[in-house]
Structure 1
């Protein structure tokens, strides 16, 4: 099963996050194209450097945002440290309860 996909970094992120956090909701948005012109990205052949990730998981229960973000950064540290890896990671982390409250607020 060594089939190459067009989004290997996103695939690894999805697999790691799913395994670690069993999210009820996971949205990975690749924003790399928005940053391709930035100086640090010149010469980079990777099309997977900037991501916006939304994770809803009960694993975040009773943890503040910084602790939640550290959990995700720790999980993806290899992908963030490798050449051509993740350059920027924007996170939105929620518990299922927080997501439900958010939906209720938006519905009114």
Structure 2
């Protein structure tokens, strides 16, 4: 399983998102710290989940970081997050 697939599986299981997009942006960071040949180091996640309701931006990020704790200590060097509830979702 790739890192992107692991991220998607863990977030789907932990947050039951209405929508989830995991984008490997490693190619944009060639020559920067944490970049590895073959990518799978820098990711952007766009997620819409009802479980974010009533939570601040920081609380939402902490929820995701808790689910991805193992990956954040290893293969993930950078993680950019866009977190929304279904009510906040931009059409």
Q: TM-score, normalised by structure 1?
A: 0.79
Q: Which has the larger radius of gyration?
A: 1
Shift, 1:38, TM fit: 1.1
Moved over 6 A (4+): none
Unaligned residue ranges in structure 2 (runs of 5+): none
Q: Helix, strand or coil for the counterpart of 1:66?
A: helix
Q: In the alignment, does 2:72 pair up with 1:98? A: no
Out of 12, 37, 52, which is 1:18 matched to?
Answer: 12
Partner of 2:68: 76
Shift, 1:45, TM fit: 3.7
Number of equivalenced pairs? 91
Q: 1:18 to 1:40 in 2, by over 3 A?
A: closer
Q: 1:46 to 1:76 in 2, by over 3 A?
A: farther
Shift, 1:37, TM fit: 1.4
| Larger relative helix fraction | 1
